[in-house]
């Protein structure tokens, strides 16, 4: 019997190791290449030999994939020039090699402020490369369950993906609670109210809104199982005029359906979950069953 590995606590390399088939991972631009950030070095800030992201190829349940895993413990998984270029290059490789999927193990606060301009441009390059890979027929999945979540530009990148696999502990948004609190005040968003933060950005709210496609418990094996399931049966990103018009209508409808909502609790109540207050404590399976039940009734 194997010990349960917390995805939240695991490093980027440990996540890759539990996700990929044994001994199938080959890293591109590995630490031995010493592709460190010259911009961090210039500020006398610590550098990492992989610049905080691991990229490579592997198989998952025997199917070829390309993987990028951000290391949240290095500068909050933030995207700089080298870090961003590695992810962009991986997506370009995908468009050419056409693997079964690209897996983005997102754990990032967004743009790395020490190299802000390079990071912002890199995110935009990742967005274009991701959509080009999708247009070439390669699905891209995001997996979110780390301590930095998926914020800033990486929050936008995540929502371009064909599948978004999350745990409740993972968080997905654009501006982090600390940023909103700093600019708009604690009355707008109290970043220290941890349960509120999870009700506004956490995996269960994202799953209830249909943004996360699969919700799993904080268990590396559960993330792998969800990735295997997604490889077998994934949702395709809308790409043509008709599907984008439908997405436009759905996003407009959502804003109308939740006119004054500022707390996930109100969303769970509005969609008819039996015990909205109890949602944060539910195991992923129970929550998924309740959502499935609502969908059947609708």
Which one of 54, 60, 143, 180 is in contact with another protein (CB under 8 A)? 180
Cα–Cα distance for residue pair 289/183, rounded to 1 Å: 39
Which one of 72, 153, 170, 203 is in contact with another protein (CB under 8 A)? 153
> What's the min distance (Å) between Cβ of 59 and another protein?
18
183 makes contact with another protein (CB under 8 A): yes
Cα–Cα distance for residue pair 251/271, rounded to 1 Å: 16
Which one of 46, 62, 137, 239 is in contact with another protein (CB under 8 A)? 239
User: Which residue lies nearer to another protein by CB, 91 or 222?
Assistant: 91
155 makes contact with another protein (CB under 8 A): yes
263 makes contact with another protein (CB under 8 A): yes
> What's the min distance (Å) between Cβ of 107 and another protein?
16
User: Which residue lies nearer to another protein by CB, 84 or 139?
Assistant: 84
186 makes contact with another protein (CB under 8 A): no
194 makes contact with another protein (CB under 8 A): no
Q: Are 75 and 112 in contact (CB under 8 A)?
A: yes
> What's the min distance (Å) between Cβ of 127 and another protein?
6
Which one of 122, 144, 166, 230 is in contact with another protein (CB under 8 A)? 122
206 makes contact with another protein (CB under 8 A): yes
Binding residues among 208-237 for another protein as defined by CB under 8 A: 209, 211, 237
Q: Stretches 98-106, 151-159, 217-225, 276-284: which one binds another protein (CB under 8 A)?
A: 151-159
> What's the min distance (Å) between Cβ of 249 and another protein?
10
Q: How far is CA 168 from CA 219, 234, 244, in A?
A: 11, 21, 28
DSSP structure string for the chain: -PPP--TTTS-HHHHHHHHSPTT--EEES-GGG----HHHHHTT----TTTTEEEEEEEETTEEEEEEEE-TTTGGG-B-HHHHHHHHHHHHHHHHH--SEEEEEE-B-SB-GGGHHHHHHHHHHHHHHHHHHHHTT--EEEEE-STT-B-THHHHHHHTSSEEEEETTSBB-SS-HHHHHHHH-TTT--TT-HHHHHHHHBHHHHHHTTSSSEEE-S-HHHHHHHHHHHHHS-PPPP-SHHHHHHHHHHHHHHHHHSTT--SHHHHHHHTT-S-GGGGGGS-HHHHHHHHHHHHHH-
Binding residues among 25-44 for another protein as defined by CB under 8 A: 28-29, 33, 35, 38-39, 42-43
User: Which residue lies nearer to another protein by CB, 100 or 154?
Assistant: 154
Which one of 73, 114, 235, 269 is in contact with another protein (CB under 8 A)? 114
Q: Stretches 7-15, 198-206, 215-223, 227-235: which one binds another protein (CB under 8 A)?
A: 198-206
Scored b (16 or more CB within 10 A) or e, 91-107 reads bbbbbeeebbbbbbbbb
User: Which residue lies nearer to another protein by CB, 55 or 216?
Assistant: 55
78 makes contact with another protein (CB under 8 A): no
User: Which residue lies nearer to another protein by CB, 6 or 124?
Assistant: 124
């Amino acid at each position: 019997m194997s010990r349960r590995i917390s995805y939240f606590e695991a490093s980027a390399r440990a996540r890759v190791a539990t996700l990929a088939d044994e001994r199938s991972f080959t890293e591109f631009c590995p630490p031995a290449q010493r592709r460190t950030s010259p911009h961090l070095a210039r500020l006398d800030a610590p550098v990492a030999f992989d610049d905080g992201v691991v990229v490579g190829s592997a198989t998952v349940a025997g199917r070829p994939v390309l993987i990028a895993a951000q290391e949240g413990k290095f500068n909050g998984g933030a995207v700089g020039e080298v870090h961003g270029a590695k992810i962009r290059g991986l997506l370009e490789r995908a468009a050419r090699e056409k693997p079964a999927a690209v897996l983005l193990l997102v754990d990032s606060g967004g743009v790395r402020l020490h190299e802000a301009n390079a990071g912002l441009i890199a995110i935009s390059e990742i967005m274009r490369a991701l959509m080009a890979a999708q247009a070439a027929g390669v699905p891209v999945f995001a997996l979110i369950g780390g301590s930095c979540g998926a914020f800033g530009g990486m929050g936008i990148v995540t929502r371009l993906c064909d599948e978004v696999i999350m745990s409740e502990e993972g968080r997905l948004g654009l501006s982090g609670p600390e940023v909103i609190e700093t600019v708009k005040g604690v009355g707008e968003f109290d970043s220290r109210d941890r349960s509120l933060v999870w009700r506004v950005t956490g995996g269960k709210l994202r799953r209830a809104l249909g943004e996360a496609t699969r919700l799993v418990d904080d268990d590396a094996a559960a993330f792998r199982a969800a990735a295997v399931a997604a490889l077998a049966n994934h949702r395709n990103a809308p790409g043509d005029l008709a599907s984008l018009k439908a997405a436009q209508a759905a996003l407009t409808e959502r804003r109308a359906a939740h006119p004054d909502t500022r707390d996930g609790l109100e969303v769970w109540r509005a969609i008819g979950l039996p015990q909205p207050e109890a949602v944060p404590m539910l195991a992923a399976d129970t929550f998924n069953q309740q959502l499935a039940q609502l969908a059947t009734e609708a």
